[in-house]
Structure 1
Amino acid sequence: MATIQELTDQINQFVAAKGWYDPNTRFPQTPRNIATSVVVEAAELLEHFQFSDQAQDKAALAGELADVANYLFQLAYLLEIDLEQAIQAKLKLNYDRSWE
């Protein structure tokens, strides 16, 4: 199983191979653009549950989850956020919270 860092490195290799880090790309890798892409892909994920409590196509759903994760890892990379550390810190914080 790959670590978050290894997946982030693979995503960076893909983005570089596509030329999306180039100054004149149609797909600039700015934090705003990638944050927007996270939301767009999350909406596509939600479409699988529109009018149903169960997704009909699990493979397509997995692809949407991967898209969300890819953009999320890319955003963390661009913002120089250690996503693994952030997740662990948030889990620790949430253990001490209560929801009414």
Structure 2
Amino acid sequence: MELRALEQAMEDFVTSKGWYRPDSPRPQTPRNLAISLVLEAAEVLELFQWGETADREALADELADVMLYLLQLARLHGIDLGEAVMAKLARNAQREWP
């Protein structure tokens, strides 16, 4: 699936829940989304807390949560994640690690 389709699906979902409305109990502010992103990433880490493997379905759910918050945070800031990833890969290609 293309990134644009994922972004649109995320946007449609959040809008359908009313989370962009000013009176939303779950305001989709950059701060709240950044916090949620980190919390979901911690849930990914938790799956590996006591071993080197994780339940595939649980991992897929948590990774999807991370991506949804990432997509939404990027959208609010007008960041094209596809372009950002490619630019970062190009910069990293020029780097050297010890």
- TM-score (structure 2 length as normaliser): 0.97
> Using the alignment, how far apart are the partners of 1:26 and 1:80 within structure 2?
24
Q: How many residues align?
A: 98
- Between the two structures, name the one with larger relative contact order (CA 8 Å, sep ≥ 6): 1
Measured after TM superposition, the shift of residue 50 of structure 1 is 0.1
SS of 1:64's partner is helix
Which residue type is aligned with residue 85 of structure 1?
E
Q: Which of 83, 91, 94 does residue 92 from structure 2 map onto?
A: 94
Q: Which of 37, 59, 62 does residue 61 from structure 1 map onto?
A: 59
* Match status 1:73 vs 2:51: no
Matched-pair identity in %: 52
* Match status 1:38 vs 2:37: yes
- Aligned partner of 2:25 in structure 1 is 26
Residue ranges of structure 1 left out of the alignment (5+ in a row):
none
Measured after TM superposition, the shift of residue 95 of structure 1 is 0.8
Q: For residues 5-56 of structure 1, give each alpha carbon's deviation from its aligned partner in whole angstroms, at most 9, with x where no partner exists.
A: 111111000000011011100111111110111000000000010021111x
Residue ranges of structure 2 left out of the alignment (5+ in a row):
none
Which residue type is aligned with residue 31 of structure 1?
P
- TM-score (structure 1 length as normaliser): 0.95
Name segments (4+ residues, structure 1) moved above 3 Å.
none
Measured after TM superposition, the shift of residue 59 of structure 1 is 0.3
Tell me how large the CA RMSD over aligned residues is. Answer: 0.7
